Structure 1
Amino acid sequence: MIDTARRADEQIPRRAGLNRRTPQGPLLLREAPPKLEPSAAGPYSVRLAESGEEIEAAQRLRYEVMYGEWGGKPDPAKVASRSDADEWDPLAYHIIVTDGRADGRVVGTLRLVSNLCLEPGKRFYTEAAFDLSKLRDRYGKILELTRFCIDPDGRHGVILMLIWKFAMQFIAETRTEVMMGCASFTGMDAVVHGDVLHHLQREYMAPEDLRPSPVVDNFVRIDDLPVGDAEGAERKIPTLLRGYLKLGARVSDTAIIDPVFNSTFICIYVDAASMAGEDTVLVTARAEGERP
């Protein structure tokens, strides 16, 4: 455990909001953002968003993917703006990948929210579905990863790997102790995913003293689902989740049925110490080696 990490109720000094504004208000900057150099692969470059305009571009990509492609049900405000914006965006770091062939268009994004950036009493996005109090009690520095979206024309692995590697560098630079979020499966019939969910529970279930538990009624216990095709279950694990599992991810024993995004999702977390002991170089090498 990193004993120098600040707790969630400690305030981080913030600069005044930029003169640019996100749809949810001023873009807030931490006093000491992580010192990460942009990197590139071919025409693609990855870095942290630096302006409200760049965050808005990421929000438009999120809308296109989550509502246009995945079949999510946006509220009227999102429909009007064609943008996926919420109350966590001004508090977040936004990883973006831009395409140099298309005037720097944002083609990939991942949102990072630290507990150190939340006001006292403010919950993570994930806490609308899961109780994370056990993780909050154990770890001083928690990072939530959400809104991972890639342009449909860029799903050949390069953009995913750029974001993945950059996120691992962010975690190392900020000395994050645990990262967490959700892993989704398409469709609201959890029975369809029973085989892979049972496999995940059998091989990767979180210990009881750290296990996230549901705080909503629309959940199913994985134990109550039919096992299905146990032999083929591992092949059905999504690429991104497979990467987290290789780094030591642990999963909840329940799944949430989500009508907004037509999905079934579980909660996952990764203890940073388990990713590769103290060897962050190995973590990066693992990330680079993963393929869709």
Structure 2
Amino acid sequence: MTLSVSSNMLPKLAVNKGIELLNTLVMPPATHAGRYTVRFAKDIQEVQAAQALRYRVFYKEMQGQPTEIIKAEQLDMDQWDEAGFHIIVLDSRALQQPAVVGTLRLFYSECLESGQDFYTGKAFDLSLLKSHYSHALELSRFCVDSNGRGGVILMLIWKYAMSFIQDNHIPVMLGCASFSGTDETQHLPILNYLYEHHLAPEALRPKPKGAGYVDLAAFYEPNTAWEEAQKSIPTLLRGYLKLGAKISDAAIIDHVFNTVFIAIYVETRHMLEENPSLVTHV
């Protein structure tokens, strides 16, 4: 299976290993809700449609800074796409098909090449988590088309991802939670809240790599107005927190995507045992 885009595309998706590996795992059936269908991408063209949506959201809408190749291709792409599992929501009423209006990339630890880390591992040391769990699943690159943010698409993606995690007995899921804008002071209320209530234990805590990170402890100020801070929590992150998500003690300023982000993880055993209803409800 080859791509129709230019040969200088990096990384080149000559074969989508993720699509091949899905055949060895338990796959949730496609789910339909009116005009929308959620399932895993089946071919390179559908992966590209997801990458095109990501480009529109991350670079055009959120004003990220694409590389020359990404800008030329109008596709958000990286080294994890080739072996990633791409959840997509398709809109049957759109004129141009495949019409991907929502996407989330799953990356299974068994897909990591020798010496390769998760996308989250670019900024955070995940060695404590990886040594504690035999395998893990990273969730990343979530986005929804600007015309479909009423909640249905998010809910479809959420339910599908949780079904995959449950059916394949994934012990831990991890990723990044980002906040729009690179001025960390604008995000201090929510970061303080997360630091106070959801800080990961030292034994499993993701640690920032290198310098230039925001030390949450240095900025922390006790605050009793947590209810107000919680209002600014993004919907997807709110869902993770309901499942017991824990966060890093540092945030990273990302000028490429015009965000500030933290590392998060959820131990799914507790999620499934203590909050079974939340597996299908954000």
Identity of aligned residues (%): 45
User: CA shift at 1:34, angstroms?
Assistant: 2.4
Residue ranges of structure 2 left out of the alignment (5+ in a row): none
Whether contact under 8 Å (1:143, 1:176) holds in the other structure is: yes
User: Cα deviation per residue 1:120-147 (whole Å; 9 max; x = unaligned)?
Assistant: 2111111110000000000011000000
Distance in 1 between the 2:120 and 2:128 partners?
Answer: 14
Measured on the aligned residues, the alpha-carbon RMSD in Å equals 1.7
Matches within 5 A, 1:62-101: 62-101=54-93
Distance in 1 between the 2:90 and 2:174 partners?
Answer: 25
Aligned counterpart in structure 1 of residue 172 of structure 2, from 172, 178, 199: 178
Distance in 1 between the 2:132 and 2:222 partners?
Answer: 35
Partner residue of 1:38?
30
Please give the TM-score of this superposition, normalised by the length of structure 1: 0.88
Q: 1:115 to 1:288 in 2, by over 3 A?
A: closer
Partner residue of 1:108?
102
Distance in 1 between the 2:90 and 2:224 partners?
Answer: 40
- Runs of 4+ aligned residues of structure 1 deviating over 3 Å after TM superposition are 18-23, 226-230
User: CA shift at 1:218, angstroms?
Assistant: 2.2
Whether contact under 8 Å (2:162, 2:280) holds in the other structure is: no
User: Cα deviation per residue 1:134-178 (whole Å; 9 max; x = unaligned)?
Assistant: 000000110000000100000000000000000000101221110
How many pairs align? 269
Q: Which amino acid aligns with 1:40?
A: H
Partner residue of 1:238?
234
Distance in 2 between the 1:185 and 1:19 partners?
Answer: 36
Aligned counterpart in structure 2 of residue 27 of structure 1, from 8, 16, 23: 16
Residue ranges of structure 1 left out of the alignment (5+ in a row): 1-17
1:53 matched to 2:42: no
| Secondary structure class of the residue paired with 2:128 | helix
Q: Which amino acid aligns with 1:251?
A: I
User: CA shift at 1:216, angstroms?
Assistant: 3.0
Q: Which amino acid aligns with 1:151?
A: D
User: Cα deviation per residue 1:184-205 (whole Å; 9 max; x = unaligned)?
Assistant: 1111111111111111111110
Distance in 2 between the 1:288 and 1:158 partners?
Answer: 13
Distance in 1 between the 2:201 and 2:244 partners?
Answer: 13
User: CA shift at 1:227, angstroms?
Assistant: 3.4
| Secondary structure class of the residue paired with 1:172 | helix
Distance in 2 between the 1:289 and 1:165 partners?
Answer: 7
1:159 matched to 2:153: yes
| Secondary structure class of the residue paired with 2:174 | strand
Distance in 2 between the 1:117 and 1:235 partners?
Answer: 37
1:247 matched to 2:243: yes
Distance in 2 between the 1:267 and 1:73 partners?
Answer: 21
Please give the TM-score of this superposition, normalised by the length of structure 2: 0.91
Q: 1:174 to 1:146 in 2, by over 3 A?
A: same
User: CA shift at 1:212, angstroms?
Assistant: 0.3
1:275 matched to 2:275: no
Q: Which amino acid aligns with 2:129?
A: L
Which moved further from structure 2: 89-98 or 225-234? Answer: 225-234
Q: Which amino acid aligns with 1:223?
A: A
1:263 matched to 2:255: no
Whether contact under 8 Å (1:58, 1:96) holds in the other structure is: yes
Q: 1:184 to 1:178 in 2, by over 3 A?
A: same
Q: 1:69 to 1:267 in 2, by over 3 A?
A: same
User: CA shift at 1:33, angstroms?
Assistant: 3.4
User: CA shift at 1:206, angstroms?
Assistant: 0.2
Q: Which amino acid aligns with 1:127?
A: G
User: CA shift at 1:35, angstroms?
Assistant: 2.6
User: Cα deviation per residue 1:35-68 (whole Å; 9 max; x = unaligned)?
Assistant: 3200011100000000000000000000000001
Matches within 5 A, 1:211-230: 211-225=205-219, 227=221, 230=224
Whether contact under 8 Å (1:195, 1:226) holds in the other structure is: no
User: Cα deviation per residue 1:207-247 (whole Å; 9 max; x = unaligned)?
Assistant: 00000000032211112226386511122211111100000
